[in-house]
Amino acid sequence: MPVYNPPLRDMQFVMHEVFNVEAEFKAMPAHAETDADTINAVLEEAGKFAAEVAFPLNISGDTEGCTLDKATHEVTPPKGFKEAYAQYVEGGWPALSCDPEFGGQGLPYVVNQCLYEMLNSANQAWTMYPGLSHGAYEALHAHGTDEQKKTYLTKLVSGEWTGTMCLTEPHCGTDLGLLRTKAEPQADGSYKITGNKIFISAGEHDMAENIVHLVLARLPDAPKGSKGISLFVVPKFKVNADGSLGERNPIFCTGLEHKMGIHGNATAQIALDGAIGTMVGEPNKGLAAMFVMMNAARLGVGNQSLGLTEVAYQNALAYAKDRLQMRSLSGTKAKDKEADPIIVHPDVRKMLLTAKAYAEGGRALQIFCTLLLDKAHNHPDEKVRKESDELVALLTPIVKAFITDNGHISTNACMQVFGGHGFIKEWGMEQYVRDNRINMIYEGTNTVQSLDLLGRKVLGNQGATLKKFGKLIAALVEEEGVNEQMAEFVNPLAYLGDQMTKFTMEIGFKGMQNPDEVGAAAVDYLRVAGHLAFAYLFARMAQVALKKIAEGSTDPFYTAKLQTARFYFAKLFPETATLMRTARAGSRVLMDTEAALA
């Protein structure tokens, strides 16, 4: 059976020693009283919930899956899910970073993100139920009317109700401009919504008394394409004026998808047959409101793979220390045993360190991004808010695509450590591989994220935001450029930062001549950008570790951090050279291939 230990020490290191979040929060009136002790205490309890309540349901939930009663359209999640959710609500966890005006605890986003990392390690399928609710809260908090906020937010914040986002239709996924669901205005200002949605995560269940669906649909006079999409809030049960639940709304689950992974989450086919809803935001501008939820979800999906990478690594490491196979090539290491543990073999260490490096780099990037989100929402200086928001926009597709791709690499590597046992269900490793696989697909495939990064976030403003990130790199390089101990971390970072400017200009120029050049280079480009971000963060982490050791610390944590950083720069970071070369190979070898693809 798998095990899970919340990585509290590494979270604390990144938050308090690398980013000094307590000092950052003192500059934000909303979080000025949030100190390190409070954060640590909250996350310690969060880790207990993840490890003791959610984690034991992971394998059983995967085995049992969800059950649909076709007569009533009701869905029953796996055994124990409902009870675990009740404990989650009782503990106040849904409210952690929500607005106190609606019953939230008002803690920083960065704390919430660490909570969700641990929940995703413990049980991604279960975590998707409250995770989607938080996204629905964000969208309504940003774009809902006063009446909608009064009706829905308190219940979403408390966790009494859960939320979904209903975008995808059978004939369209990413291209939402093709959606056909219709919304007909009613005399009372509401709308009757009719259509079909698929792939709706947490779309139906009995864990909460109501489900708040956010649905994209078209008004009768809506223009074609994405400019004609409106957003509506459609509850499973209608809500009376006094806040009590009314009659059942005709929005039903008609089927559950049979999936590769995340079996414990109800991925629903949803039919709306004149379901009553109210508009969120302005007519035909639903995507702007929905993107609040989608961007939150993209950071969340990156967090899902981070969680799976961490738990897969922990179990692979424990197995590698215990499993005896052959002798070390450099001589017997365990003389009292009939064979050496497999952790002595170089390639096993490579697989383990790959997962460890991608987990620690991903954690640093997630915390960096959510700290930026806290600044974007709460910092009193408008310039700081604006620049933080720009950097989050730049980094969001990297978080989603780079961390989930790394999760695929890492969970597969960790399964490989187990050899044949990794392919057997009882060890839990194959489930991590299966569960992670969807993360590269939903909330915009990783190719879509790559196009968003290169086409919109970088070339869309002539690299202005990329240059701002470059200034952070340049500042670190200038600070540590003469420090010989930092050379192995700073020099590769400085070199890639310089190359990135030239690389971007070259792709941009070619794209002006032929847009397919951007499409051909985008995936490789995002991976290079991901390594640029990881290299910056690993350099900062190494900087702190070296200072602590120089001050006399004998904590092995800092030695381990330096060793992981060295591995990252030596074995993972160098793929950037290959990626830039393949990106520069252009589109012709992809598009001039009619004979090959006949």
The residues annotated with a catalytic role in the active site are 443
* Cα–Cα distance measured from residue 473 to residue 487, given in angstroms and rounded to the nearest whole number: 14
CATH classification for the domain delimited by 8-143, as one of 1.10.540.10, 3.40.30.10, 3.30.420.40, 3.30.365.10: 1.10.540.10
Return the pLDDT at 290.
78
Map tokens 């000094």 to a residue: 20
pLDDT tens, residue by residue, 494-512? 999 999 999 999 999 999 9
- The helix or strand, by DSSP H or E, that contains position 344, with its residue range, turns out to be none
Question: Is residue 62 predicted with pLDDT exceeding 80?
Answer: yes
Confidence of residue 287 (pLDDT cuts 50, 70, 90): confident
Return the pLDDT at 292.
77
For the chain, percent of residues with pLDDT exceeding 70: 100
Residue 145: is it exposed, middle or buried by C-beta count within 10 angstroms (0-12/13-18/19+)?
middle
- As beta bridge partners, residue 272 has 195, 251
Q: Cβ distance 535 to 571 under 8 Å?
A: no
Question: Is residue 334 predicted with pLDDT exceeding 90?
Answer: no
Return the pLDDT at 291.
78
Return the pLDDT at 262.
98
pLDDT tens, residue by residue, 220-256? 999 998 899 999 999 999 999 999 999 999 999 999 9
Q: Assign residue 428 a region: left if phi > 0, alpha if psi is -120 to 50, beta otherwise?
A: left
Domains 8-143 and 162-285 share a fold: no
Question: Is residue 171 predicted with pLDDT exceeding 90?
Answer: no
Return the pLDDT at 296.
84
How many angstroms separate the Cα of 504 from the Cα of each of 134, 322, 463, 507, 526? 35, 47, 8, 5, 11
Return the pLDDT at 354.
98
Return the pLDDT at 323.
95
At the topology level of CATH, where does 162-285 sit?
Answer: Butyryl-CoA Dehydrogenase, subunit A; domain 2 (2.40.110)
Does the model's pTM come out above 0.85? yes
The residue ranges of every structural domain in the chain are: 8-143, 162-285, 447-589
Tell me how far the alpha carbon of residue 516 is from its chain's centroid.
28
Q: Cβ distance 309 to 360 under 8 Å?
A: no
Return the pLDDT at 288.
82
Question: Is residue 177 predicted with pLDDT exceeding 80?
Answer: no
Return the pLDDT at 170.
92
Question: Is residue 293 predicted with pLDDT exceeding 80?
Answer: no
pLDDT tens, residue by residue, 116-159? 999 999 999 999 999 999 889 999 999 999 999 999 999 999 99
